Chain A
Amino acid sequence: MINIQDIRDTARDMLAKGEVRAVIGYRRGSRGMLAEPAFITSPEQADELVWDPTCFHNLSLYLVEDRKFLAHLKKNSDAPIAVVAKGCDARSIVVLLQEHYFKREDVYIIGVSCEGSGVVDERKLAPLLNGFQASNAVFAGDDFVFTTAQGEKRLPAREVMADRCLECRIPFPKEHNVVFGEDKTGRELAAPFAALTRFEAQGAGERWNFWSHHFDRCIRCFACRSVCPMCYCDECVVDSITFPVTPATTAEEKANRIRWIERSATRSENITYLMTRAMHLAGRCTDCGECERACPVNVPIRLLNNKMEREAREKFGFEPGASIGGPSLVASFLDSDPGDFIR
Chain B
Amino acid sequence: MTKKRTGVFVCHCGTNIAATVDVAKVAHEMAGEDTVAFTQEYVYMCSEPGQESVVQAIKDNKLDSVVVTCCSPNLHEKTFRDNAQRAGINNFTCEIANIREQCSWVHKDKNKGTEKAIKISRSVVRRVNRNKPMEAIAVPVTRRAMVIGGGIAGIQAALDIANAGVEVILVEKQATIGGRMLQLSETFPTLDCSQCVLSPKMVEVKRHPKVKLMTYSEVQEVTGSVGNFQVKVHKKPTFVDPDKCKICDDCTVVCPVVVPNEYELNLTSRRAIYIPYAQSIPASYTLDEEACLGLNPIVCGKCKDVCEADAINYDMLPETVTEDVGAIVVATGFDLYDQENMPELGGGKIEDVLDGLQFERLCSASGATQGHILRPSDHKEPKNVVFIQCVGSRDPAKHCAYCSKICCMYTAKHAQLYKHHVPDGRAYVFYIDIRSGGKGYEEFVQRTMEDNDTLYLRGRVSRLYRHNGKVRVLGTDTLSGQNVEIDADMVVLALAMVPSKGTTEIAQVLKIGRDKDGFLAEAHPKLKPVESVTAGIYLAGAAQAPKDIPETVAQAGAAAAKVIALLSQATLSRSPLIAKVRPSHCTGCGMCVDACPFIAIRLENGKAVVNEALCEGCGSCSATCLRAAIDVKNVTQLQIHEMIEACLAV
Contacts and interface: CB of A to CB of B under 8 A. Distances in A.
B13 interface: no
Given A248-B584, A258-B641, A237 B628 contact: yes
Contacts of B624: 330-331
B603 A249 contact: no
Interface string B568-596: 00000000000000011101111111110
Interface in A235-274: 235, 237, 244, 246, 248-249, 252, 256, 258, 260
Interface string B207-232: 00000000000000000000000000
A248 B583 CA distance: 9
Given A100-B589, A101-B589, A256-B638, A233 B595 contact: no
B637 interface: yes
Contact of B588 (A100, A234, A249): A100
B508 A260 contact: no
A143 B247 CA distance: 84
Contacts of A101: 587, 589
A318 interface: no
A234 B606 contact: no
Given A235-B627, A280-B626, A100 B590 contact: yes
Given A100-B606, A258-B641, A280-B626, A235 B590 contact: no
Contacts of B587: 99-101, 232-234
A331 B594 contact: yes
Contacts of A252: 1
Interface in B233-254: none
Contacts of A331: 590-595, 624
A260 B624 CA distance: 17
Nearest to A237: B628
A256 B626 CA distance: 19
Interface string A326-343: 011011110100000000
Main secondary structure of the interface of B (DSSP, over half): loop
A342 to B, nearest CB: 14
A332 B584 CA distance: 24
Interface string A186-214: 00000000000000000000000000000
A244 to B, nearest CB: 7
Interface residues of A, number: 25
B508 A235 contact: no
Interface in B113-148: none
B80 to A, nearest CB: 27
A149 B556 CA distance: 90
Contacts of B583: 248
Interface string B135-167: 000000000000000000000000000000000
B641 A332 contact: no
B595 A235 contact: no
Interface string A1-27: 000000000000000000000000000
Candidate in B591, B603, B638 with the most chain A CB atoms within 10 angstroms: B591
B584 A249 contact: yes
B29 to A, nearest CB: 25
A100 B590 CA distance: 7
A83 B409 CA distance: 75
A319 B593 CA distance: 20
A100 B626 contact: no
B628 A330 contact: no
Given A327-B594, A331-B595, A258 B628 contact: yes
Nearest to A283: B591
B641 A260 contact: yes
Nearest to A67: B587
Nearest to A329: B591
Interface in B603-650: 603, 606, 624, 626-628, 637-638, 641
Contacts of B593: 331
A331 B630 CA distance: 14
A34 B580 CA distance: 48
Contact of A246 (B584, B589, B591, B637): B584
Given A98-B589, A235-B585, 14 more contacts: A100-B589, A100-B590, A101-B589, A233-B587, A237-B627, A244-B584, A260-B641, A330-B624, A331-B590, A331-B593, A331-B594, A331-B595, A333-B597, A335-B508
Interface of A: 98-101, 232-235, 237, 244, 246, 248-249, 252, 256, 258, 260, 280, 327-328, 330-333, 335
Interface of B: 1, 508, 583-585, 587-595, 597, 603, 606, 624, 626-628, 637-638, 641
- Would you list the 3 A-B pairs with minimal beta carbon distance, nearest first? A99-B589, A331-B594, A331-B591
